[in-house]
Amino acid sequence: MALKISHYILRYICTNGAISGIYGDNKSLIHYNLNKDIAYEYIKESVKIIEKTRDNVIDKLKVLNKTGADKKIRESALRRLSGVLGFKEAQKLMNIYEESTENNLDGFDSTEYSLFNFITSSAKEYDIYKRTNLEQVAGDLFLQRN
């Protein structure tokens, strides 16, 4: 796979993780026959960007519990989850989220944070490849928006 530098958000209490890219175009490097100086510069520049954008990611995380997970964001989540899990499995997950929200279960308050938390928590049930991709879905969906 390609080398890609991203923010990784890990909540120690629940061990849910999320990945938030640092480049709008998801810049990555194919490392086969790659000059080590190019790789070093990519890593060095990426770390600088992470340092500059860390506070922005934190600010976005802080407001997730103040914004409702409207129909548009739920549909976007379903589309993105489908790309990782397939439509049937993604629909099953979103149905669980919807039912839990409708029944006012603990942690399901219909905010963007509850959906973000649900996706990252659900990711732990899958193999490492799908888990990482689901963590990327959560990060892209909620932390890459302007």
User: Could you tell me the residue ranges of all domains in the chain?
Assistant: 1-146
Average pLDDT over every residue of 22-36: 72
Contact in structure between 15 and 2 (CB atoms under 8 Å): no
In whole angstroms, give the CA distance from residue 126 to residue 143: 22
Closest CA to 41 of 85, 3, 78, 90: 3
Digit-coded pLDDT (tens) for 119-129: 999 999 999 99
Query: What does the pLDDT read at residue 126?
Result: 97
In whole angstroms, give the CA distance from residue 137 to residue 119: 8
- Name the least confident of 4-18, 37-51, 66-80, 118-132: 4-18
In whole angstroms, give the CA distance from residue 82 to residue 13: 28
Percent of the chain with pLDDT over 90: 53
pLDDT at 99 over 80: yes
